[in-house]
Amino acid sequence: MRLTYAAPVPLQAGCSASYWFPTVYYDAAEITELRTGTLFAAAAVSYLPAGSGGANEFTVADIPPAETGGVAYKSVTFSGCLDFRRQRPETTTIFGLTQPTSTKPTASLQVYIRDSRGETVAYFNSGVSFTPVTGSMALVSASLDPATVYAAAALTWTIQPSHNLYAADSPSLTIEVPTDYSVPGVCTTTAANGDPYGASRACSTNTIQNTLTISNLVASDWVGGGTLSFTTSAVTLPTTSAGG
């Protein structure tokens, strides 16, 4: 993550900067390093977590919702402004922070710069939200067996999600079939081709929406780019060869 901005006033030595992250979306304790630009030092400076023994360190603290209008934040604070700096852009690069799993815009990040007495010199507390791009998925193959008019056919799928899937999120996959197919009242699912991620999968159907849903899609964290294969129990195929 990179934050770029400019301080509106000159800064004296001894000031500090704090970056606030809404805890419902981010865990600031994951941050492993901060690298600042030219606003806080004559050259780029690297800050490490408190207690790491480095020359420059940052601290992490909880900001209670009562101080932020009802949203809990976690702050990352470091001492900067090693020299007198005039107005200039600052780019801070943040390493180790996991981006939100939500596909909705997050609450805004907040940034505060304070003088040596702890008084706020400059801040922004809106306009820096994260709207993630949703993941994508490719269909590698799909087959019906048997592919015969009005048969009860098993569906075998191989998909390739581009994004990571985390077991703790219990990801699911919903398959909507055409209206001239008929899904069963109950269904089962099995792993295909030795897929190691299907041990805890379960299958359910919705006969109104004509869908099958595979829940607990992965049993352990899965890195995007690979393929997942599974077979669901039979759906009834169309009654004519023109169907589907």
R_g (Cα) of the chain, nearest Å: 26
State the pLDDT at residue 22.
92
Domain boundaries, the chain: 2-124, 137-236
State the pLDDT at residue 211.
93
State the pLDDT at residue 85.
55
pLDDT in tens, 161-200: 988 888 878 889 999 999 899 998 888 888 765 555 656 7
Pick the CATH number of 137-236 from 2.30.110, 1.10.287, 2.60.40, 1.10.443: 2.60.40
Per the CB < 8 A criterion, the answer to whether 75 and 16 are in contact is: no
Residues 6+ apart with CB under 8 A from 192: 156, 157, 158, 229, 230, 231
Instruction: Order the strands of the 202-206 sheet from edge to edge.
Output: 173-176, 211-215, 202-206
State the pLDDT at residue 122.
80
Domain 2-124 shares a fold with domain 137-236: yes
CA 10 distance to own-chain centroid: 37
What is the C-alpha separation between 159 and 192, in angstroms, rounded?
12
* pTM, entire model: 0.58
Give, for all 244 residues of the chain, the pLDDT tens digit: 666 666 555 555 667 889 999 998 899 999 999 888 766 665 678 889 998 887 789 999 999 888 887 889 999 998 876 555 556 677 788 899 888 877 778 888 898 888 878 888 888 888 777 777 777 899 999 888 998 899 999 988 899 998 888 887 888 999 999 989 999 888 888 876 555 565 678 889 999 999 999 988 888 888 888 888 888 888 999 988 776 6
DSSP 8-state class, residue 41: S
Q: Which fold has domain 2-124?
A: Immunoglobulin-like (2.60.40)
β-pair partners for 204? 213
State the pLDDT at residue 75.
93
